[in-house]
Structure 1
């Protein structure tokens, strides 16, 4: 007899042989033993998890004269003929190649005839999601009112493509991905039965590469056995699956954590020169980083999935912080997505290697320290911000020591050393918005502004979290901000502008361009515009209501400054002195 692949030789013939699907198999066995079977079933789940095998076992069990507790005997001529695919009353159909209306109409015609050899005629339709819309409609009536002694079993990997009218007429069973330890146990059982020696770690490598599919695991095992000599070794499994050795990943991440860019890049080149694929490399390092994180929290749980933990792995887990591993996983995930659409995989692999090696997490600032740059701005801009904060703190200390009154602190002329604003107001841009501004556009923009902030990236959201739209037309929106320096930076940030326009397009169907101005300048610009552009009473009222910013007297301005100071520095550091 010709050689058969392992996944065919070891295909499950009983419900108890199906690995990792206890809930499904037990339910089906109970239904058979209690004679409570339905006329149609839907088996869904990832590839290689036992859907078609369960369907054939079900067809045998429901027709087997020697059935015991829902299990077929696999000894009678009926079971043997179904196993070999020779029984005419059990029909397997591949919907990928028989997906037309004509094929389903043929089934509707033949389904009227009673079974000739067994009690139930069983139709197993694999990859049923491939049927056309017309074919589904043709199948619908048959599923709704099937003839007596006819059973349909539909199997698919993509249940979301099946019409709800079909799903509602079936009993659905979801097959899940098989756990690594279950695959390892089954592979070990097979090798022991075949009297083949093996390294335990080789089975874990194959099981993890199979990604929850038993058929994939058996195919990989078949390849590994063909590649190996007399014993299945860990190196054999790594060669067949294209995975990296633990030593390679230990060294790579150790170089990255130590900031040794050149050594990490050399390691990447060496790995690629041995024939490893960039996609597989990223996947293995991503999984390795996940293992590091799990080991730090639940070491015993990881040992069940990994088999063993090496000393370099433990050392690396103790060296890396949770926050750094989180960032590693984020960067590797981004690179994995980029590799899917790129033809320059090596470039992305080298770029992510440099990012990992150069990653420096910002430590929480100690009391009195200035926080480090986390906003994504240039170093010069950040230094200016730090300088402004330092000056503000010095001025606050002077206020605390000299007892200057609040009114003096809030006056723009004092202190004498304060630098005047160098930000040039975009007066023309603001006037353009006011010229076309409407109350409806402003209200519409204000209603979705908080939603817009949530749609931006963390950096972008942090930069404009204190912004407020104050006037809007059909194409632009004026947004106030409490810092003229940040306004200057934002107005020149093209990527942020694009993000705002794109997300506003999604929310209100209008791509508005944002114009940022300091909050303290808004009332002046509004009043100047109204003076320079006389309108009739109705239009003036409209603009006034849209852009209403109340004038503040000295007392109110002082109170506002105090509130801002408390908000910025904290109530413990602010001391108010009144003369």
Structure 2
């Protein structure tokens, strides 16, 4: 065969070759040495982190003629046969194209047969999350109790799509993204082995663009080698990956800090004209500011910086920028990045973000003269003295009724106290029972109409009084009362229409928070008591107004009067 891609040439053949997954390899090696081999494994993690390679290395190690061993020898007949695919007892299955019930039934029928040339028959099912529900069910029993000579290794990038019944029957290993530093170290060995000449910074750009995947890093390096003319230059790699050099990023960030909109937009325009990806540029800007923030707060932890190297220009910008402004900068950039996903013109959003940042960046505060500091200290001391005097002075107590009427709500909702009292004057127990009788039906109707949010708002509400024209709804939470009363998302209109339909008469809905309802009702009863001698009949004058109001609200049949 002719040329082979780098990721195939440098595919791991031993556990030691697996880069950045020491937590997985150490556990598997210990299990091999102690012969504590499970019947099923689940390897999950991002693409290009070594899941399938680890499965194949494990299959070689468990079947190696030198077993038990921590590493496959890669010299015996078994190891060589598994590596070149000539041994039929190690079966690799792509679940993306073999995801039906029939394929899994075929596996279930064949697992009973002993391996022909090695100790263990190993099934490696890649992208197992692509199996159908029926296929998972067909695999379930076999996966739980396979024959002693069978090992299942499932690999996936999306473990959340796998049924829990499958996951619980496997030993799970989570492969993590490989750090930039680790990828760079491995790529150095690759270029040395292949005698490839690269410029400084090339491997860092490749590792950053790989996003934690070693296979992606090797593929990008392979592409850069093909693109370059002998020596891989930084400009070649930046062109291939669509990334921006740190020098250009530093100049763009410097223009934003200096509020030089014209210069900043010219730099963005130049980058776009050279084919840079707007989404990649905004991602690089986010990481650049992230690294500045970490460098400012922890200058001694250079190893935690993700995308940048600490050069002289980077240090100068870190000294100029205000740490508090970085939070706002990242927020603006992140919002623009999200909006880019839903547009055909992402360049517009990067330009808008740059303009916003130039307008909103706060200049570094200058040191206040000592005279100004003394002035402010005296002013603060004077205000503290005034506050202490106010706290010591007696505060006039307002009447209880005035307190209740002026008590502000946290949500800013103004209670229609007058309208509530008007409804109470006409409220009857019969009207309230009528509304309560259809309240559960009303909530079910909202859910049936897919108005789940409306039903959720009304779930903690309760009709507490009703006349022939209006209903008073008591809400447990003020914010729900405000949202319904202000007709957010047409919830009030829909509620009144349903009430009219179910009761056969138009009803106005007035909301009141739970903590205010008791005070308003108490005020109303006291007012009725005060007005009773003047406006009531002789029979009503002889009856206690509180009892009269209780009869109206509760009903005579439920009221018991004791002297």
Tell me if TM exceeds 0.5.
yes
Corresponding position of 2:28:
28
Deviations 1:197-240 (A, max 9, x none): 22231111111111111011111111111112222222222111
> What do you get for the CA RMSD once the two structures are aligned?
4.5
SS at match of 1:93: strand
- 1:329 matched to 2:355? The reply is no
Superposition deviation, residue 315 in structure 1: 1.3
Aligned residues: 457
Superposition deviation, residue 499 in structure 1: 13
Superposition deviation, residue 360 in structure 1: 4.8
Superposition deviation, residue 104 in structure 1: 0.3
Q: CA 1:246–1:515 in structure 2 vs 1: closer, same or farther (change >3 Å)?
A: farther
Corresponding position of 1:78:
78
1: CA distance, partners of 2:462 / 2:362: 37
Corresponding position of 1:316:
317
2: CA distance, partners of 1:356 / 1:58: 52
The answer for unaligned runs of 5 or more in structure 2 is: 366-371, 377-381, 400-412, 437-460, 465-470, 493-508, 532-544, 556-563
1: CA distance, partners of 2:301 / 2:491: 44
2: CA distance, partners of 1:286 / 1:80: 47
Corresponding position of 2:220:
220
SS at match of 1:169: coil
Assess if the C-alpha contact under 8 Å between 1:104 and 1:135 holds in 2. Answer: yes
Assess if the C-alpha contact under 8 Å between 1:479 and 1:514 holds in 2. Answer: no
2: CA distance, partners of 1:398 / 1:298: 40
Corresponding position of 1:9:
9
SS at match of 1:299: coil
Higher mean Cα deviation, 346-355 or 238-247? 346-355
Corresponding position of 1:446:
none
Q: CA 1:68–1:251 in structure 2 vs 1: closer, same or farther (change >3 Å)?
A: same
TM-score normalized by the length of structure 1: 0.68
Corresponding position of 2:210:
210
1: CA distance, partners of 2:269 / 2:219: 29
Corresponding position of 2:534:
none
1: CA distance, partners of 2:302 / 2:83: 39
Corresponding position of 1:537:
550
Deviations 1:353-387 (A, max 9, x none): 22211225599x99999xxxxxxxxxxxxxxxxxx
Q: CA 1:408–1:234 in structure 2 vs 1: closer, same or farther (change >3 Å)?
A: same
Corresponding position of 1:485:
none
Higher mean Cα deviation, 261-270 or 124-133? 261-270
SS at match of 2:176: coil
Q: CA 1:130–1:474 in structure 2 vs 1: closer, same or farther (change >3 Å)?
A: farther
SS at match of 1:98: coil
1: CA distance, partners of 2:147 / 2:397: 93
Instruction: State the structure with more CA Rg.
Output: 2
The answer for unaligned runs of 5 or more in structure 1 is: 370-392, 411-422, 441-468, 482-489, 502-512, 543-579
Q: CA 1:429–1:146 in structure 2 vs 1: closer, same or farther (change >3 Å)?
A: farther
Q: CA 1:478–1:127 in structure 2 vs 1: closer, same or farther (change >3 Å)?
A: closer
Assess if the C-alpha contact under 8 Å between 1:178 and 1:214 holds in 2. Answer: yes
Superposition deviation, residue 261 in structure 1: 2.5
Superposition deviation, residue 117 in structure 1: 1.2
Q: CA 1:407–1:175 in structure 2 vs 1: closer, same or farther (change >3 Å)?
A: closer
- 1:250 matched to 2:250? The reply is yes
Deviations 1:143-194 (A, max 9, x none): 1111121111011111111111111111111111111111000000000111
Counting only pairs closer than 5 Å after superposition, residues 553-572 of structure 1 correspond to structure 2 as none
TM-score normalized by the length of structure 2: 0.70
Assess if the C-alpha contact under 8 Å between 1:470 and 1:480 holds in 2. Answer: no
Assess if the C-alpha contact under 8 Å between 1:479 and 1:515 holds in 2. Answer: no
Assess if the C-alpha contact under 8 Å between 2:112 and 2:147 holds in 1. Answer: yes
Q: CA 1:68–1:165 in structure 2 vs 1: closer, same or farther (change >3 Å)?
A: closer
Superposition deviation, residue 329 in structure 1: 1.4
2: CA distance, partners of 1:433 / 1:19: 75
Corresponding position of 2:18:
18
Assess if the C-alpha contact under 8 Å between 1:202 and 1:237 holds in 2. Answer: yes
2: CA distance, partners of 1:78 / 1:234: 44
Deviations 1:429-470 (A, max 9, x none): 7679988999x9xxxxxxxxxxxxxxxxxxxxxxxxxxxx99
1: CA distance, partners of 2:124 / 2:489: 52
2: CA distance, partners of 1:432 / 1:91: 81
2: CA distance, partners of 1:30 / 1:405: 77
Higher mean Cα deviation, 188-197 or 163-172? 163-172
